[in-house]
Structure 1
């Protein structure tokens, strides 16, 4: 027989309203009562009916997170930080991997709305301005993380990607590199990083690589393939900047295939500062994103919206920083 909220209230010797407040973490309930109710819930193995709560206009305590590529360690680490912060605040996370596919984005948005999630967090790679507008028109809390819609008023926690690209170029130029290959996927964040990179090159009267072209994957294999093209061209670069750590790991593999010593013969800079940067050989110099802080801040924003504490749209822009490891060195004069 299915255990109901009435059974929990009777066993705990409290009202149904008290049980509901303990479950939803609302109202002022004494710690002793909370512990007693939670113990009964665990003893009876009571499972709250979130769909029934949604039909009554109550919170389901679930948030939908659309991630474009969970195979990319940046997104898996970001999702983890969002999930941990959500649990601290009493919310569960439903994660959906979209593979950068519009069809999957539409499918998951529809599915999660049917399940009456309390709000949506949309991660970098989500390009659908029309869908964001639609969610807001339906008064569904929505926040963007790891990218921005500067043309649109929406809650967002983003990195200054332009500055990240600018830092990468300035760092390599400072080491004496003038011929630098670039590996980037054609997504908004990478386009901003390239824009910053170009700015630094122009300020130092250096040319952007003429053979640069955007790719459509963010894998180590894709990074390796593009790096091979650079390293087998007539004008071999002395450094490579990759717009994420996976692509940079691929560039390191290509250098090894070509029997180039990193960093003596080729410097490599990545982006994100994920665990990949620490375990590759040599350890990767990279532009760091404050991943944990970004996840925590976007979840805090989301919960404030759900609870009606925040009506004004907030845009938080976080700054990147360079983490210097062993994949870069000063260019030796020939």
Structure 2
């Protein structure tokens, strides 16, 4: 039994059945009761396609992220899905990886599914902030549906961005390390995304404002794998540093394991901060001081804004929302 069978039995169009399913006021009470009775008699459960017919809405949101195994992204997606269900929306999740062609392919796939909006989790989708051709596919998608970026920024019509103030958070952490007498602060990073670039600029600005040089050998790009970070730091015997600013908790835990292998005292010999305030920060030994970039707050903000836009209240929504981060101090810092 499908929507076509129900329409035939009731003597109405499939669009009318869809309107009944969605409780549309455009159907008379008599017709509504007739269609509902036939659906009940035949045990018909409307699917997403039936809900969307005739209403130009599939009540479905597309979500893209590069890597669902990443702690930050997994937390974001779980929260987004829960909030969408509260509003009666389903979601289609695509894990795109980082290849440009794959990201573009998945956007096309989701648009073909007639999604109502697209949420992109991760600054990898915003390029360097919107000036490069690598984000043209995002701008093209925004011509058809509203696009929401979490943890990234892209200045374009119908693209709505919610992200933490990574620049200021990293500037503040680096400054506090310097004010505690740290002179050689290692910047650990695993990408060149918008978020990572903001963190790097915050780190460099803090060094400059305190009269310290920005040294290339103290900016290290490595894969976000805990043991890989540890091993690379152990191999780099020429690399001298007294503190670590990491752009992700996994990188910071790798630095902790390096310090433990070298029998360094934390934070006396080596001060370390992470980013994202994930479960890794309390699983490590010692527990890690980490910047909380408010992932759940960003997700709530995104869903609230999306609901306003889908209900015709776009004028109430800002396209650029930046929220402050905070450092959660644990055992790896002395400030």
TM-score if structure 1 supplies the norm length?
0.82
Which residue is equivalent to 1:157? 162
Which residue is equivalent to 2:299? 295
| Contact 1:61/1:117 (8 A) holds in 2 | yes
Matched residues in 2 for 1:101 and 1:121: separation? 18
**Pairing 1:168–2:166 present:** no
Which residue is equivalent to 2:81? 83
Matched residues in 1 for 2:217 and 2:23: separation? 57
| Contact 2:66/2:95 (8 A) holds in 1 | yes
| Contact 2:281/2:289 (8 A) holds in 1 | yes
Number of residues of Structure 1 aligned to a counterpart in Structure 2? 314
In the TM superposition, residue 75 of structure 1 has moved relative to its aligned partner by: 1.0
Unaligned runs of 5+ in 1: none
| Contact 2:217/2:239 (8 A) holds in 1 | no
In the TM superposition, residue 72 of structure 1 has moved relative to its aligned partner by: 1.5
Which residue is equivalent to 2:254? 250
In the TM superposition, residue 198 of structure 1 has moved relative to its aligned partner by: 0.9
Which residue is equivalent to 1:187? 193
* Mapping of residues 302-321 of structure 1, within 5 Å: 302-311=306-315, 314-321=319-326
| Contact 1:25/1:90 (8 A) holds in 2 | no
Q: Deviations over 1:34-60 (max 9, x none)?
A: xxx8xx87x93614242x555645211
| Contact 2:150/2:302 (8 A) holds in 1 | yes
**Pairing 1:135–2:141 present:** yes
| Contact 1:180/1:209 (8 A) holds in 2 | no
Matched residues in 2 for 1:176 and 1:213: separation? 19
Which residue is equivalent to 1:125? 124
Matched residues in 2 for 1:97 and 1:54: separation? 25
Matched residues in 2 for 1:178 and 1:305: separation? 48
In the TM superposition, residue 241 of structure 1 has moved relative to its aligned partner by: 0.8
TM-score if structure 2 supplies the norm length?
0.82
Which residue is equivalent to 1:283? 287
| Contact 1:120/1:142 (8 A) holds in 2 | yes
| CA spacing shift, 1:263–1:313, aligned 2, 3 Å | closer
**Pairing 1:46–2:51 present:** no
In the TM superposition, residue 118 of structure 1 has moved relative to its aligned partner by: 1.0
| CA spacing shift, 1:149–1:155, aligned 2, 3 Å | same
| Contact 1:143/1:301 (8 A) holds in 2 | no
Superposed CA RMSD in Å reads: 3.3
| Contact 2:18/2:52 (8 A) holds in 1 | no
Which residue is equivalent to 2:29? none
| Contact 1:183/1:227 (8 A) holds in 2 | no
Of 105, 113, 132, the residue aligned with 1:115 is 113
Greater relative contact order, per chain length (Cα 8 Å cut-off, separation 6+): 1
Which residue is equivalent to 1:92? 90
| Contact 1:72/1:218 (8 A) holds in 2 | no
In the TM superposition, residue 220 of structure 1 has moved relative to its aligned partner by: 2.4
Of 219, 223, 247, the residue aligned with 2:225 is 219
Q: Could you say what secondary structure the match of 2:142 adopts?
A: helix
Matched residues in 2 for 1:23 and 1:289: separation? 40
Matched residues in 2 for 1:285 and 1:4: separation? 55
Q: Could you say what secondary structure the match of 2:330 adopts?
A: coil
Matched residues in 2 for 1:217 and 1:21: separation? 51
Matched residues in 2 for 1:216 and 1:308: separation? 45
